[in-house]
Amino acid sequence: MTTVFKFGGASIKDADAIRHLTPLIEDHKDRPLVVVVSAMGKTTNKLETLLAAARDEHRSDDYRKCFEALQAEHREAIESLFDDAQDSPAERVDALFDELDAQHQKHRGAAYAKHYDQTVCYGELISTTIVAAWLNHQGTATDWHDARELVRTDACHQAANLDWPATAEAIGERLAGSDRVILTQGFIGGTAQGAATTLGREGSDFSAAIFAHCLDAREVVIWKDVTGLYNADPRRFDNAVQLERISYGEATELAWHGAKVIHPKTLGPLQEKAIPLTVRSFETPDAAPTVIDAERRFDADVPCCILRENQVWLEVRPRDFAFMDEPRQHDILGHLVEAGLHANLVDSGAMRFAICLDDKPERLAPMIESLEGDYAVRHEDSLTLLTVRHPRQGMMDALGADRETLVERRNDTTAQRLFRSRDCPETWHIPD
């Protein structure tokens, strides 16, 4: 049966990291083994910077500098890995860089999202070319596949929607039954017309789930630089602990509320086919992992805390002293949809509708301006939203002690409090 591995940017950030990954793949004897790989290190961020320079006619020097720096980094990894020219992917990678350059020239006047997808996809195309060559060089029979031809999507650039039947057909036809390692890109897909698309930042987890779903895989393993999922970000909570096992539903809730653990779209396709997802460390592969599957019994064992910073609180009131009835709520949410903004918390009353949002000024400012035609809008920024899943008795009060709570929301599984960021500590402690 098929296994799907996913390696993120950190696990292939340089030549040493790539060397380290070979035994993890070699030791896994089941085939097909589908290996989904992200761009190297922070390449996607760098490609976004490159894109901004490409679109600004006054910044052609910056563009060249960025481009050359990125190419040099990849060349350095290749030179370190391959001493003989025969197996080296140097030429193919240089050709991909030439293509990337040509795509920038071609799309600089096109819509941003389309230009983004035609160029940022090269991070993954290049990284997988290097890793595939390396595995073959090491004697692990590996085939490179272009995910733009397998993961079929619509043309909603930067947030493409999957065409599941076409994807299942393409993946089934090309990959099922292979006895080799199948290496492909996370994050990217393509339209029927041949344009590249992307699935949203950090979308490689979702890619792994797509391949697993379409191949009825036995298991997905996400290899990370931590041993599993934690009940809070260990960099921000001094007593965070690893979760042993949670359900698909719980993992989806954590991701939805902003835990940067797994892309939120990942769990659905796995749940539907009851394919377990394991999160393991590529540094210490034998350490106990976190397992996500259908079992719900352990979900409430450990409370989980999630911080969302840079939040804005918007309070919207009708100008004509009318009620905040359904047509008005519908109207306000319509503004949100149009602005492409997501409500992290909603609260309403007879004459007000209030929303907590990520502070994205370029989207928020025009939305507020258009709301102000019909509504009085008050907003406050520099806020922190704390979400706790399965809080224990008294926990929310302890977390809110010493700071004013601007808004509180609670149901049987989830509690949220909104604070001013300046009142919040750098390091939090989860109360007993």
Instruction: Read off φ and ψ for residue 153, nearest 5 degrees.
Output: -135, 175
Smallest gap from Cβ 41 to Mg ion, in A, equals 9
Of residues 68 through 127, those in contact with ligand ASP by CB under 6 A are 123
Stretch of 37-45, 100-108, 266-274, 395-403 contacting ligand ASP, by CB under 6 A: 37-45
186 binds ligand ASP (CB under 6 A): yes
Q: Considering beta carbons, is residue 64 or 260 the nearer one to ligand ASP? A: 260
Kindly report the number of other CB atoms within 10 A of residue 220's CB atom.
27
Smallest gap from Cβ 49 to ligand ASP, in A, equals 13
Residues 6+ away with beta carbon under 8 Å from 251: 229, 261, 262, 267, 277, 292
Long-range contacts of 267-274 (CB under 8 A, 24+ apart): 267/209, 267/292, 268/209, 269/209, 269/210, 269/212, 269/213, 270/209, 270/212, 270/213, 270/220, 272/213, 273/212, 273/213, 273/216
204 binds ligand ASP (CB under 6 A): yes
β-pairing, 407-410 vs 414-420, is antiparallel
Q: Where are the beta strands (DSSP E) in 329-372?
A: 343-349, 352-358
Closest-CB residue for Mg ion? 9
Q: Which of 2, 44, 197, 247 binds ligand ASP (CB under 6 A)?
A: 44
Dihedral sign from CA coordinates of 42, 47, 50, 55? negative
Residue 186, binding choice from Mg ion, ligand ASP, none, Cβ under 5 to 8 Å by partner class: ligand ASP
Q: Which of 3, 4, 8, 356 binds ligand ASP (CB under 6 A)?
A: 8
Task: Tell me 161's DSSP state.
Answer: P
Residues 6+ away with beta carbon under 8 Å from 235: none
Residue 187, binding choice from Mg ion, ligand ASP, none, Cβ under 5 to 8 Å by partner class: ligand ASP
Q: Which of 203, 228, 264, 269 binds ligand ASP (CB under 6 A)?
A: 203
Q: Which of 187, 223, 313, 428 binds ligand ASP (CB under 6 A)?
A: 187
Site string (6-45) toward Mg ion, x via CB under 5 A: --xx----------------------------x-------
Binding site for ligand ASP (CB under 6 A): 8-9, 38-39, 44, 123, 186-187, 201-204
Binding site for Mg ion (CB under 5 A): 8-9, 38
